[in-house]
Structure 1
């Protein structure tokens, strides 16, 4: 998609705000989880309002916090400047000011303020402590859908070159000598013991990737979706157990946005702000609700009557990775590039970047490693190290204690309405302290040897125990509204939401962001958040419909509209001028692929539209439209006949994957037909999964289309 067209989607969505008084779904927070769930719900045909308290971020989304060397790129677009945003740019509005840790109050949420590390979860991240129905086999198809749009990359430059690799080489040589092996963190997510990789980045086509780039344009192409920026959600408005809407603040003014009868509110405001909304809605520990009740004169928050308060452990059990930073001298040459190299790059840096090449396509870290150990309590704890040059012949390692840690804390709210730690979540169990201290001690032994290529730069008196006392948080918080079967209202239960993400004690309030994650992953959080959000959308769509949704929603997306494919941003860099001249123009010459999407909001007509089987579709036919094509047959180019199955995915057996930019199931079927052994396909957006076996049906999802060979 060209930048101009992408921008037009944003503007049209913004102009449409407020045209409908109520919605089937209101989603609070346009971070990665909120955007993904909003898009998938909109595909199902219901009316969706996505609210975000912050500004637009990327240029394509309407953001205009430009880098000084290019008038068509923002500070959020360019991977190479991400590390320097907080200290080198005047606009710092992307950071929330009412949370105890680093949080993104901007379109894209944390994906716009993090360090771009993109680490697909290993199976054990879900299998250890996520409940039944959320194990890896349950979310694997969701992970595939995320990967088809947001794959991440360990080699993001279009020319295939890794740039500025002297620090990578220094670390690789050291860890190879310790018995570690090289893997690709993107394609080998389950390799997490004694391994290292080129740093994996959330980058695609030379730009910062994620749901703002991929999912959001698909949503904005649908008439039943609306995005409203600069809108802070204060609370869910409740009538007993039923949420009827949300109270928001826009330009200092409060207003109520209503749900349609049978509608739902979904909280995706992040691990700090989702609890704030819950507290302000009369949901949480009594002591926190008392603080809110006593602060009305300051915050102007109106709680329900105390008889309607829902006593749930919101904020209890918050977890985060812990980081200890270690510094080393190197015996081999390591280059260090200072801030100005990235913030005010020369033309020999910007010219390659205009073609998707060069150092600006990378984040700041160069090398990542993982390992694990088993402590005396019998549990396995994982470690991650992100490594980079911090001076000439001088390198740094951020050592994370990640999956398996047992320390946790608590989050509360102040009289001013800010969230705050009431119990610090870091290193408060003996086993966690021992695990990280012993790992550091072993590292110190190795880097103090005479022949080590990394030489610890600190005093000889430093130990693992002393160094681990100087820690920072990993900014990967989870579990402030934990999902589980132990209802937090009774018997000291620890869970706030059930297995369908619905808040206990409510009829129609849900949580889909990292707040509901019951455990920490092995790596940085953003990939796991996206996988869980894809799975959450399936869970919510599978729930019985409430008594009534708006009659308008059944037709709101029936009109054909243009929608970008997952490669929609491929033309952005090629159309970017690298001159500082204000006369630079947006280029529309770069090719971009557009497809049409027709969405039906209702499955009630399925029985009448699928009562007969037809073979009128041919290889030249346009994309069959679900649900009316359900049960029809399609004749592929070879003459093989495939049965179209709307809303069906089947278990595993994938033998190949291809992106089908046309978004036509006909083209996916013909790809399968040409592949020896392929007998079944599933499509999610433009992603075409080809399978060697017709497996058991595992998903009934309104955004999956399938077809299996029958003759």
Structure 2
């Protein structure tokens, strides 16, 4: 299918822009340039606000009804752990008083992909460096919302089973992304830095492709068996987290991506791509020079050396019943063992969806808003009922 994205006149829309700016400007008051450090508790279990730093000065904000963390798969577990909610041993080592011993930061999952610039073409496409850098493309984008600048990057994708013979599996395990470009399409100006490619790999493997027409048909691992972890470096709000994604730790993840490479090779043989003169880029990736190109061992080596994130991390505040020792929040997104504290973001997902996470995260947000409102309505009812019985008791006295 064609890739679905949030676009308005060729421009990407952030979710906050679409929800807040366009729909209800007065619904939310934003406190910008603030970094939340931890949650404030009353009696060690009831969330009453947050504490943080704003331009170097400490601040605190008290909550009238509830505290909702939506800092994402990396940010939310960091705030919880600095607040004393997390793995007991880890927090104790950092001298953080433990309020709740929960597996915060565990169960980190991500979609990983490979295959950048793997396909060379004999024909030019509409999206290349010259077109993107041209003045006409800029004018077309600014005044019509069209042209190369309005591209989504990934033009099309599909979700499939890696086993092309047996399609009876419950879930697809691969997503195939089609990009009419690659890491070298901007001559190394931006993409290689954004993707974290090392300088020596860029020079030796990618730079020879500059100026040629490349494409990337990239297999994405949808349901990795590997699990990573987010930890704190210290108590300090200024320190970055320690993130161990643990990519490809499970051998099955490598095997599934290898099946994806084989599917890409089959796609290259199709009539549509052969009309463009599609063929594999045959230069060996650094680190795999001793393997025969296009052999199974070469591709397994290639995957280990050139696999990167799709930026879909989830799972570090896993949802599940309190009896599940691997979970952090319940089915109402409330943190176990606390009151009035919710986590509403991708970190609550127990596992990855079979595709991009954007729509799923918005679903969690929509449902989470309903759950928080319902929680508050039930709390008000209980308070009113308690007040009612108190009044009856006082009248009888």
Q: Compute the TM-score of the two structures, normalised by the length of structure 1.
A: 0.43
CA deviation after TM superposition for structure 1 residue 234, in Å: 0.4
Higher-strand-fraction structure: 1
Computed over aligned residues only, the root mean square deviation of the Cα atoms, in angstroms, reads 3.0
Structure number with the bigger relative contact order (C-alpha 8 A, sep ≥ 6) is: 2
CA deviation after TM superposition for structure 1 residue 205, in Å: 3.0
How far apart, in 1, do the equivalents of 2:242 and 2:120 lie?
Answer: 38
Residue 303 of structure 2, aligned match among 468, 484, 496: 468
Distance 1:284 1:360, change over 3 A: same
How far apart, in 1, do the equivalents of 2:22 and 2:320 lie?
Answer: 32
**Greater mean deviation of Cα atoms: 371-380 or 473-482:** 371-380
Residue 213 of structure 2, aligned match among 365, 374, 393: 393
Q: Residue deviations 1:303-337, cap 9 Å, x none? A: 5x44xx20001111110001112411224443552
CA contact (8 A) 2:128 2:213 kept: no
1:313 aligned residue: 103
Aligned to 2:258, the other structure's residue is in SS state helix
Aligned to 1:469, the other structure's residue is in SS state helix
How far apart, in 2, do the equivalents of 1:433 and 1:348 lie?
Answer: 40
Residue 88 of structure 2, aligned match among 283, 286, 290: 286
CA contact (8 A) 2:127 2:180 kept: no
Does 2:355 correspond to 1:523? yes
Alignment size in residue pairs? 330
How far apart, in 1, do the equivalents of 2:335 and 2:319 lie?
Answer: 9
Residue 238 of structure 1, aligned match among 41, 49, 59: 41
1:418 aligned residue: 240
Aligned to 1:436, the other structure's residue is in SS state helix
Aligned to 1:214, the other structure's residue is in SS state helix
**1:424-573, aligned counterparts within 5 Å?**
424-444=245-265, 447=268, 452=274, 453-459=277-283, 461-462=293-294, 463=296, 464-470=299-305, 471-487=307-323, 493-545=325-377
How far apart, in 2, do the equivalents of 1:228 and 1:513 lie?
Answer: 19
Aligned to 2:100, the other structure's residue is in SS state coil
1:334 aligned residue: 125
CA contact (8 A) 2:160 2:175 kept: yes
CA contact (8 A) 2:328 2:336 kept: yes
Q: Residue deviations 1:27-64, cap 9 Å, x none? A: xxxxxxxxxxxxxxxxxxxxxxxxxxxxxxxxxxxxxx
Distance 1:534 1:347, change over 3 A: same
CA contact (8 A) 1:231 1:249 kept: yes
CA contact (8 A) 1:482 1:496 kept: yes
How far apart, in 2, do the equivalents of 1:366 and 1:440 lie?
Answer: 19
Distance 1:206 1:445, change over 3 A: closer
For structure 2, list consecutive stretches of 5 or more residues without a partner in the other structure.
183-210, 284-291, 382-397
CA contact (8 A) 1:384 1:401 kept: no
Q: Residue deviations 1:383-413, cap 9 Å, x none? A: 23232223533222332111x3322112111
Q: Compute the TM-score of the two structures, normalised by the length of structure 2.
A: 0.74
For structure 1, list consecutive stretches of 5 or more residues without a partner in the other structure.
1-196, 294-302, 550-711
How far apart, in 1, do the equivalents of 2:101 and 2:232 lie?
Answer: 15
**1:140-159, aligned counterparts within 5 Å?**
none
2:160 aligned residue: 371
How far apart, in 1, do the equivalents of 2:269 and 2:169 lie?
Answer: 30
